[in-house]
Amino acid sequence: MNNKMIWLIVVTLIIGATWFYSDQQEAVNVRLVAVNEGPVDFTTSNTRAGTIKACQRSRLSLPMGGQIAELFVREGEHVKKGQILIRLWNNDQKARLADAQAKVAMARSAVIESCRMAALNQRERERLSSLAAKKLVSAEHLDSATTKALVSMASCHKATASQKSMQALMDLQTAILEKTELTAPFSGVIAEINGEVGEYITPSPSGVATPPAVDLIADDCLYVSAPVDEVDAAKIKKGMLVNVTLDAFRGEAFSGQVIRIAPYVKELEKQARTVDVDVKLLDKAQQHKLLIGYSADIDVIIEQKTATLRLPTETIIDGDHVLVYEPKSGTLVSKKITIGLSNWRFSEIKEGLSEGDQVLLSLDVEGAIDGALVTVDE
């Protein structure tokens, strides 16, 4: 047997073995996704979890100490602006105010009486002055009337000044009485109350923080405050649209808009420099189910394309390859692609694929590699 014949036999055996083993290859069950047209956003996200906050929140305390006489609200209750929340025992202040009001009334009567007398004496002086010009009354009589008019006018001025003093005292007592009542500066919900009827409360000493009497939150306006890496923060502008997601509502997105970018960088650690970005939630209908303090993540839309070829980002290998399903051979084939805008959900396909191409969805399937025989999981 010559060499040529030997080589022919060897090649035939190799081809036969290859066919045999390929025919025996077990097909891998995979899931596919089609290249389609849709929106793709280029976004930037927060580095650590953000927090849902209220546009208005006041930790209210009374300006003076005393015993709680009346508690008009409960935790979780909605209140309106100007509504009384707490009233301290104030019978002594009410008595002082009543006394001041009585003195004001007396002073007002004294003003009316003295000023009326001053007006009468002034008219009498003017009448005698006219008669004196005609030599019908003596100079002594005119001087007496003039003195009387001046004295009564001084009494009128004194009574008026006394009335103003009494009025100021009454205003002071009114202000002191008002300090015994805590009212809502805006409409909202009562988050916390520290104190019960009969307990004594005292204002915070200077430089010493104490729990507020009432924690009031405006629940009609919410926003997210989230830290963003200093590099990414430079791309963000006020007014940009934002997608907000919460762990408490997985699979649901909330629309928002950037309303504030902090004018400084926080240095929590040497390798962690962040900028706080505030995002206002736009849909008030969604806000009713949110709680202050929920953790939240933001995706700020830096650039957006509304209709472009796209794939789920998880299907792309090393940023420039995908495994495409070939229906004729039933195998996966590696193809090089060029991507454009990209986020954690979708990536824009600029070159390498066409609409409708089927691409391997899950890259962690064992055996799903270039050239693998596959069956499609419907």
What pLDDT score was predicted for residue 22? 47
Please give the average per-residue pLDDT across 169-181, as a whole number. 93
Q: Is 206's pLDDT higher than 80?
A: no
pLDDT digits (tens, 9 = 90+) for 46-62: 888 899 999 899 999 88
Residue 304 contacts residue 39 (beta carbons within 8 Å): yes
What pLDDT score was predicted for residue 13? 58
Please give the average per-residue pLDDT across 218-229, as a whole number. 90
Alpha-carbon span 278 to 224, nearest angstrom = 6
Domains and CATH numbers, the chain: 26-40+306-376 (2.40.420.20), 45-54+218-304 (2.40.30.170), 61-88+181-217 (2.40.50.100), 91-178 (1.10.287)
Q: What percent of the chain has pLDDT over 90?
A: 51
What pLDDT score was predicted for residue 20? 45
Please give the average per-residue pLDDT across 219-236, as a whole number. 91
19 falls in which pLDDT band (50, 70, 90)?
A: very low
Residue 41 contacts residue 303 (beta carbons within 8 Å): yes
Alpha-carbon span 186 to 107, nearest angstrom = 38
Alpha-carbon span 303 to 326, nearest angstrom = 34
Q: Is 182's pLDDT higher than 80?
A: yes
- Nearest CA-CA partner of 40 in 318, 344, 363, 356: 344
pTM beyond 0.75: no
